[in-house]
């Protein structure tokens, strides 16, 4: 089905947060930090595979749809780790396929680890302008030459991150994109005064802590994500605040509150989520975003599904199904 260009433009104008959405937002970011921080690689201490599908703003033609898969593992010398994220992001007439390999160097400090990570991203950007349905096609007016062809670009970038974690906590900071690459064509780097689509640096800070005794039937885990990026409303950072309860070390139930709505610190969405450890190796999760911004008149919400599996594992981790990695 062809995308309706005018509807997509209306959606972009209406939503204050969309102009800053260079990368997909995940409501269940806390279950796999590799999407936002390369230093997260290897932190599960096993070969860990995870897939996520996110259908954003259901009911709006041309709204974002994202599918991705990630894998990461420590190496035999476990101070090193490797990771890879493959993602496909579709919004409006544009589709971006991204390969992001990462490398982490991990220091063991008592019962914690301090990790330093780097990543390279290789994005293939494809914009099919011929799929647009224009007003001139229904009124019989002249066609717009801007929508007569397609755009194909290779857009590289790189980023870095720092990640620290122990049994009950994690904290991280990352900058996924360091190069202000543009969609003007070729491999050019944008200057600050260029009026072209460009990649802005996003500075992301995350943290979380588990409260409760190891033997407790219910534990409490608040997590937070802060992101600052040019283009946000009045340059105010966005926050994801995600309190959650863990039942019998197997079932997470929580809610994410995301700012970035139509006004300063206004809510953009509330997203309850559920994650279940089906077996010691298999986990599944679901999140539903209820829109709080002006878009709530046009969408029935956002759905996010995740599935994870740990392939190779050590006896210490899986000697009992009561053992769980909190982050």
pLDDT at 126 over 50: yes
Residue 282: other Cβ atoms inside 10 A: 12
* Band of pLDDT at residue 8, cut at 50, 70 and 90: very low
* Band of pLDDT at residue 127, cut at 50, 70 and 90: confident
pLDDT at 184 over 80: no
Of residues 151 and 4, the one with the higher pLDDT is: 151
Q: Provide Rg for the chain, Cα atoms.
A: 21
Average pLDDT value for residue range 168-180: 91
* C-alpha to C-alpha distance for 5 and 131, rounded to whole angstroms: 9
Per-residue pLDDT, 247: 94
- Token pair, residue 50, equals 């995870």
* Most distant CA atoms of the chain, gap in Å: 72
> What confidence tens digit (pLDDT) does each residue in 35-83 have?
999 999 999 989 999 999 999 999 888 889 999 999 999 998 889 999 9
Selection from 59, 128, 132, 60 nearest residue 95 by Cα: 128
pLDDT at 292 over 50: yes
- Token pair, residue 83, equals 């990771």
Per-residue pLDDT, 135: 59
Average pLDDT value for residue range 284-301: 90
Q: What percent of the chain has pLDDT over 70?
A: 75
* C-alpha to C-alpha distance for 238 and 140, rounded to whole angstroms: 44
Average pLDDT value for residue range 279-301: 90
Prediction pTM value? 0.84
> What confidence tens digit (pLDDT) does each residue in 250-267 have?
999 999 999 876 566 678
Q: Mean pLDDT in the chain?
A: 81
Per-residue pLDDT, 321: 43
Average pLDDT value for residue range 223-248: 86
CATH code for the part of the protein at 5-318 = 2.40.160.40
- Residue spans of the domains in the chain: they are 5-318
pLDDT at 175 over 80: yes
């Amino acid at each position: 089905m062809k995308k309706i260009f005018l509807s997509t433009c209306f959606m972009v104008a209406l939503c204050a947060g969309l102009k800053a959405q260079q990368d997909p937002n995940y409501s269940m970011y806390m279950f796999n930090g590799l999407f936002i921080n390369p230093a997260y690689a290897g932190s599960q201490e096993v070969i860990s595979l995870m897939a996520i599908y996110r259908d954003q703003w259901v009911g709006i033609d041309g709204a974002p749809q994202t599918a991705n898969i990630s894998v990461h593992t420590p190496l035999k010398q476990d101070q090193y780790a490797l990771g890879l994220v493959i993602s496909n992001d579709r919004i409006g007439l544009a589709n971006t396929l991204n390969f992001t390999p990462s490398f982490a160097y991990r220091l063991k400090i008592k019962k914690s680890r301090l990790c330093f990570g780097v990543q390279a991203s290789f994005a293939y950007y494809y914009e099919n302008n011929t799929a647009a349905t224009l007003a001139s096609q229904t009124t019989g007016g002249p066609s717009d030459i801007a929508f007569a062809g397609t755009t194909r670009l290779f857009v590289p970038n790189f980023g870095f991150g720092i990640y620290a974690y122990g049994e009950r906590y994690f904290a991280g900071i990352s900058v996924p994109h360091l190069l202000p690459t543009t969609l003007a064509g070729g491999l050019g780097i944008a200057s600050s005064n260029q009026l072209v689509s460009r990649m802005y640096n996003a500075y992301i800070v995350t943290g979380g802590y588990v409260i409760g005794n190891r033997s407790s039937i219910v534990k409490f885990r608040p997590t937070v994500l802060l992101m600052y990026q040019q283009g946000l409303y009045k340059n105010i950072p966005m926050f994801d605040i995600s309190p959650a309860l863990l039942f019998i070390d197997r079932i997470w139930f929580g809610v994410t509150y995301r700012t970035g709505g139509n006004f300063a610190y206004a809510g953009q969405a509330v997203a309850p989520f559920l994650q279940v450890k089906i077996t010691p190796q298999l986990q599944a999760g679901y999140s539903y975003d209820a829109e709080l911004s002006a878009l709530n008149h046009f969408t029935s919400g956002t759905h996010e599904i995740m599935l994870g599996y740990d392939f190779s594992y050590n006896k210490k981790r899986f000697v009992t199904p009561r053992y769980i990695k909190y982050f």
